[in-house]
Every structure is written in structure tokens, then in C-alpha cells.
Structure 1
């Protein structure tokens, strides 16, 4: 029976040496996988993780920079609008000042021309009155000389006429 027990043990398939050999080979396989497969795989995964983290940081930095640039552009645009508004207001004020200066100059020129015209009219009037007086005097002398016919001298007649014209001028 003893032989049959060994045979049964061998036939049942339980062999401790094979199990130990397979367990040893499995441990060696795990060590080789860890060294040649798992280590590099984890290294690649670590590199990928670092690469993705760097890309995320770069994207966040780019977003922050873009936000800052956008804010700067908005501020510059606001300043440009304010400056343009200031320039427009300044131009309007300058235009109003120039308009007033032109109007004032035109009024002054108009007054000057009006005064010059009045002065010229007055001078022409004086010339006309003088010319009329001279003509009246000449006519009066001529008429008086014909009427009086040498009773008065020419000087006395002219003196008399000038006095008459002078009196007529004062009465006006």
C-alpha cells in the first residue's frame, strides 16, 4: 500500500518542487518586469505627467499674460479715447475763440470803415459847401456889379458878399 500511496501522490499532481520552481520563476519574472517593463513604464508615465503639468502651467501663464495684455489694451484704448475727447474739446474751444476774434476784428473793421466813410462824407460836404459858397459869391458879385454898376468897388462888393455868406452859414 505504500507504493500505491506514492503512486497516488504522484498521480494526484501535487509536486512541491514544481510549485517552488514555478514560484521562483514567477518572482524572477516579476523582478525582470519591474526592472525592464514597470520601471521604464513608470518613468514614461512620470515624464508624461510632468509634461502635462508643464503644459498646464504654460497655458495658465499664457492665459494670465493674455488677460494682462487685454487689460493693458483696454486701458490704452480708454486713454486714447480720453485724449481724443480732450483734443476735440480743445479744438472746439480754439475754434470758438478764433470765431470770436474774427467777429471782433470784422466789427472793428466795419466801424473803422464806417468812421472813414463818415469822415469822407463830411469832407466832401465841406468841399461842396465851400464850392457852393464860392459860386454864390461869384454870382452875387456878378449880379451886384450889374445892379449897382460901379457904385461899389470890387473889393467892397466881395467883402459884402462874403459877410452875407458867412451870416447865412451861421444861421444854418
Structure 2
């Protein structure tokens, strides 16, 4: 095996020229395309990260909004309960006041009727007393026993009229 120096040098020269040409025309544009691709991927990763952070923030905002809405709904329900309790209490109070007023009116009416009945009884008793006295005078009863019988008889008549 012999080494051919000429072919070795030619191969080195051809390899050098090929390397120079590849470096100038192929590797430069290839590396620039690869660098652009790397930058594009890096930008997309940054955008994805930012979008993810925005999504997380949006989800948190939605959670807070939902929690606030639940709180407001609970407050509205509680306020409605309080309002209904107040209205029920007012209605009961009005009913009690009306019952007391009706009771007072009934007591006044009863008292009025009682006074009328007593007045009528007094006037009737007065007229009966006058009748008894006039009968006594008419008969001119001399004995106490006869007077007592006459009074009892008229009292029985008055008792029978009830």
C-alpha cells in the first residue's frame, strides 16, 4: 500500500474548496433559517406562557366573580327573608291592634246596652212604684199585712214580665 501524496493533497484541496463553498452558500443560509426557526419557537413559547398566565388570571377572575355573585345572591335571599319577617310582624301587629279595637268597641257597645237596660229597668221600676203607690192609695188599706200582699202581688207581676 502506498500512499499517493498527490491524490491526498488533491482530496484536501477539494475538501477545502467544498467546505468554503458550503460555508458561504449552504451553511450560512441554513444556520440563519435555523436561527429564525429557533427565535420563532422561542416567541411561540413566550406567547404560550403569557396566554397561559392570562388564562389562569381569567379563571381566577371568574372564580372571584362567581363567589361575589353567590355572596350577593345569599345577601338578597337574607334581605328577602328579613323583609318577609318584618311584613309578617307588621301584619300580626295590625291584626292585634284591630282585635283590640274591635274588643274595645264591643265592650263599649255592651256597656251602652247595659246602661240602656238599666235605664229602662229604672223607668219601668219607677212607673211600677207609682202604680203600686196609687193602688195602695186607692185601696186605702189599713193593715200592714194587706199592704204587704199587694206589694208581693205587684212584684210577681213585674217578675213575670221579664
- Using the size of structure 2 for normalisation, the TM-score is 0.71
Q: Distance in 2 between matches of 1:65 and 1:58?
A: 10
82-91 vs 56-65, which deviates more? Answer: 82-91
Q: Deviations over 1:26-71 (max 9, x none)?
A: 2222222112221111111111111111111111111111111111
Tell me which residue corresponds to 1:83: 72
Q: Distance in 1 between matches of 2:28 and 2:114?
A: 125
Tell me which residue corresponds to 1:60: 49
* 1:130 aligned to which of 106, 119, 124: 119
Tell me which residue corresponds to 2:108: 119
Q: Deviations over 1:144-167 (max 9, x none)?
A: 54553499xxxxxxxxxxxxxxxx
- Using the size of structure 1 for normalisation, the TM-score is 0.67
Q: Distance in 2 between matches of 1:30 and 1:108?
A: 112
Flag the structure with larger Rg.
Answer: 1
Root-mean-square deviation (Å): 2.6
Which runs of no fewer than 5 residues in structure 1 stay unpaired? 1-11, 152-172
Q: Distance in 1 between matches of 2:34 and 2:121?
A: 127
Asked if residue 23 in structure 1 is aligned to residue 12 in structure 2, the reply is yes
Tell me which residue corresponds to 1:167: none
* 2:31 aligned to which of 28, 35, 42: 42
Which runs of no fewer than 5 residues in structure 2 stay unpaired? 141-162
Q: Deviations over 1:72-130 (max 9, x none)?
A: 21122222222222232232223222222222221121111101110011111112222
Cα distance, 1:22 vs structure 2 = 3.9
